Homo-oligomer: A and B are copies of this chain.
Amino acid sequence: MLSIWTPTAVFDPSNPTASKKSRFQPLSRDGLVDRVANLLAEAIMAGRIRPGAPLSESAIARDMGVSRAPVREAARLLESSGLVEYRTNRGFFVQSVSSAALDNLYEFRIVIERAAIARLVATGAEETLPLLRGQLSELYRVADAGEDMVCQVEADMHFHRLICQGSGNPRFLTVFDQIANETKLGLILIGRLYDDAHRMAETHEPIIDAIAAGDTDAAVDAIDYHIGTARTLVCQQFRLLEDKSAP
């Protein structure tokens, strides 16, 4: 599956100065389809195309200077990421989000991440723990530097992604990636989400502590509480948004 988001606001532990083995950094072997998909995804997540809006293949192809074929394939790719929706003979539409759908999404995320973190702790988190700590500091950096919300959301989601990645069962990561984009879409729509981003970053500490302590139950409780809080907050905000736009 395609990894949509651009790796900003993620902690990268690799040595940035000199590559030891090869003298050249491998140039991206992405096809046209992937590049189109990335551009489209970025436009959607940045809110430049509104949810529910139709995606005209011809228009996009014209704007990007390619033919319709790669655009169609890119759209199909984005469909499996939950970013766009396809209707036969009608074309592609930006996935529309509702508070009910968001609530379902968060409920599902809780199920996934509870299981993922339990497995992570059970199988030993030696490799993942430093990554999580690194991403936490990235969360603080983004918050304190006053970066824009897209950045904050991405940093937050990447933290949770690391948990799924470290679970040891790749299935958790696959499914997380699929639903992560939809969550981000919802968060972006709300616009200004966290009153205090620094305080928001802090709420990740108990999760790391529990993992470090090797306490499975505590870790599950921590993630449960963390996502549960976000769930009520986000859905509440989104319902406000819905009421305002359609009373």
A59 at the interface (CB under 8 A from B): no
- Least distance between A93 CB and chain B CB atoms (Å): 15
Question: Which B residues touch A107, using CB under 8 A?
Answer: 169, 171
Closest to A172 in B: B108
Q: Shortest Cβ distance from A75 into chain B, in angstroms?
A: 10
Asked if A105 meets B171 with Cβ closer than 8 Å, knowing A30-B88, A88-B29, A88-B31, the reply is yes
Question: Within the oligomer, what is the number of copies of this chain?
Answer: 2
Select A104's contact among B1, B80, B88, B170, beta carbons within 8 Å.
B170
Distance of A234 from chain B, by nearest CB (Å)? 16
Query: Which residues of chain B come closer than 8 Å to A172, judged between CB atoms?
Result: 108
> Chain A's interface: helix, strand, loop or mixed, by majority?
helix
| Per-residue interface assignment for chain A, residues 84 to 124, with 1 indicating a CB less than 8 Å from any chain B CB and 0 otherwise | 00001100000000000000110110011001000000000
B76 lies within 8 A of A171 (CB): no
The answer to whether B108 touches A111 (Cβ under 8 A) is no
Please give the distance in Å from A244's CB to the nearest CB on chain B: 26
**What are 23 A-B contacts with C-beta separation under 8 Å?**
A1-B80, A29-B88, A30-B88, A31-B88, A31-B89, A72-B73, A73-B73, A73-B76, A76-B76, A76-B77, A80-B80, A104-B169, A104-B170, A104-B171, A105-B171, A107-B171, A108-B169, A108-B171, A108-B175, A111-B112, A111-B115, A171-B179, A175-B175
* A→B interface (CB under 8 Å): 1, 29-31, 34, 69, 72-73, 76-77, 79-80, 88-89, 104-105, 107-108, 111-112, 115, 169-172, 175, 179
